[in-house]
A and B are shown apart, each in its own frame.
Chain A
């Protein structure tokens, strides 16, 4: 069974999510815009998935670009089962 651990950033609005995607792509890290996981409800429909190794860089970009985020989470996915905790 495939196991994967990654970070998820949720945003206050779709526009900020799009802005975030652009800003994070600019610093050449591996990210992906995904629909907000069901376990995290209180945010807009788009989130950004990233590699937890890049957490510091990601936080920096969020600060620099004044992105309105709702939260940053860590997700552990095993097959189709997911566990998400706020970090």
Chain B
């Protein structure tokens, strides 16, 4: 039995619910869920892992994720099913960028180091799952930032880029956001608490 679930363009936690329904409706077989973002991919993978189903994640060319979940008597209880969802492309990590400069001291140097830091993120695997920008850190995600192309590259790879709305507003650059999404303190707290690893720069 094969089932396909198209969970693109639906908000969390819909992809998980849709996948769960499809899995519940079959005794054994494969459910393929297609999602369009990293968070949904992780959540659906977690569902599969939690139920001890075998799952395989593929990334499509257009940036979607295909999650193949196999449900069946012979897959349950196998040892290898515990870790099959771990992808080597992403680590469950949030990087919080709290300033547009890296370190304290010389501003010019701090700017250069920050540029280098973001650039190097594009070249090192695993990628963090989320990068948060707050306080003057949001200067990096708005018009005029020298790291926009690097951040766009990371976003294309599936990294979640989140800027603090209050900060964009305070610095009067809200309409200049060029990459990622705007979010509020609830999301920031959730992302900082939820990741198994948090790096503050």
> By the criterion CB–CB under 8 Å, are A33 and B108 in contact?
no
B125 closest partner in A (C-beta): A80
Q: Do residues A33 and B123 form an inter-chain contact, with CB atoms below 8 A?
A: no
| Inter-chain contact total with CB atoms closer than 8 Å | 20
Query: Which one of B108, B119, B125, B146 has the greatest number of beta carbons of chain A within 10 Å?
Result: B119
> Would you call A46 and B123 a contact (CB within 8 A)?
no
List residues 1-57 of chain A with CB under 8 A from any CB of chain B: 18, 32-35, 45-46
Contact B119 A18 (CB under 8 A): no
Across the interface, do B125 and A34 meet the contact criterion of CB distance under 8 Å? no
Is B73's beta carbon under 8 Å from chain A? Answer: no
Interface string of B129-150 (1 = CB under 8 A from A): 0000000000000000010000
Q: Residues of B within 8 Å of A, CB-based: how many?
A: 9
Number of interface residues of A (CB under 8 A): 8
Contact status A34-B116, CB under 8 Å: yes
Set of chain A residues within 8 Å of B171, measured between Cβ atoms: none
B85-122 Cβ-contact flags toward A at 8 Å (1 or 0): 00000000000000000000000100010011001100
The reply to whether B119 and A34 contact each other, CB–CB distance below 8 Å, is: yes
CB <8 Å contact, B112 and A46: yes
| Closest residue of B by beta carbon distance from A2 | B153
In the complex the two chains form, is B123's CB within 8 Å of A80's CB? yes
Docked complex Cα distance between A33 and B108 (Å): 13
